Amino acid sequence: MGKLKEKHYISAFAEYEKRLKPYCKLEVCEISEQRLSQWPSPAEIEAGLKREAADICRNIPDGAYVIPMCIEGSELSSTEMAEKLASLCSMGKSQLCFIIGSSNGLDEAIKENGDFRLSMSKMTFPHHLARVMLAEQIYRAIMINEGSKYHK
């Protein structure tokens, strides 16, 4: 959710996008976050998340293995992430769809209908930073599986 605007996030993500290019086809779908009032009620937030969920669902590729990023998800070490990606690959799951929510998170339906919930941490991160962190961890997982010295 959301478009990268700050130069430091754009630059950091571009670096990992470049590094990933030889290993996978990376597609980013930026979906606009719903505009809410300055102090939204829980009902307004829920309605906004449902509208975002509809936009997300329209953009999930058919047959993709869906991984919603959420605090309730499984926390994996970098090595466990590499093992997870290798396992998915060996099962023929060639298209992975990681979903990073907006500043209000993800609608429950997205989380429930995903194939595997993943959490970066119990801490909360800005969704723009989460995109950079996820790209780095995907790259790191690939490097681990390749036996590269990148992961120390």
pLDDT band at 143 (very low <50, low <70, confident <90, very high): very high
Instruction: Tally Cβ neighbours within 10 Å of residue 135.
Output: 21
- What pLDDT is stored for residue 151 in this prediction? 66
The pair of structure tokens assigned to 127 is 């969704």
Q: What is the residue extent of each domain of the chain?
A: 7-146
Q: Say what the pTM is.
A: 0.90
Is pLDDT at 115 greater than 80 in this prediction? Answer: yes
pLDDT band at 112 (very low <50, low <70, confident <90, very high): very high
Q: Which CATH class is domain 7-146?
A: alpha beta
Give the pLDDT confidence of 20-33 residue by residue, as tens digits: 999 999 999 999 88
- What pLDDT is stored for residue 1 in this prediction? 77
Is pLDDT at 152 greater than 80 in this prediction? Answer: no
CA distance linking residue 120 with residue 123, whole number of Å: 8
CA distance linking residue 113 with residue 104, whole number of Å: 18
Higher pLDDT, 150 or 128: 128
- 32-51: string of b/e by CB count within 10 Å (b at 16+)? ebbebeeeeeeeebeebbee
CA distance linking residue 30 with residue 1, whole number of Å: 6
pLDDT band at 126 (very low <50, low <70, confident <90, very high): confident
Give the pLDDT confidence of 53-101 residue by residue, as tens digits: 999 999 999 999 999 999 999 999 999 999 999 999 999 998 999 999 9
Is pLDDT at 128 greater than 70 in this prediction? Answer: yes
Beta-sheet strand order (sheet of 65-75): 96-100, 65-75, 118-119
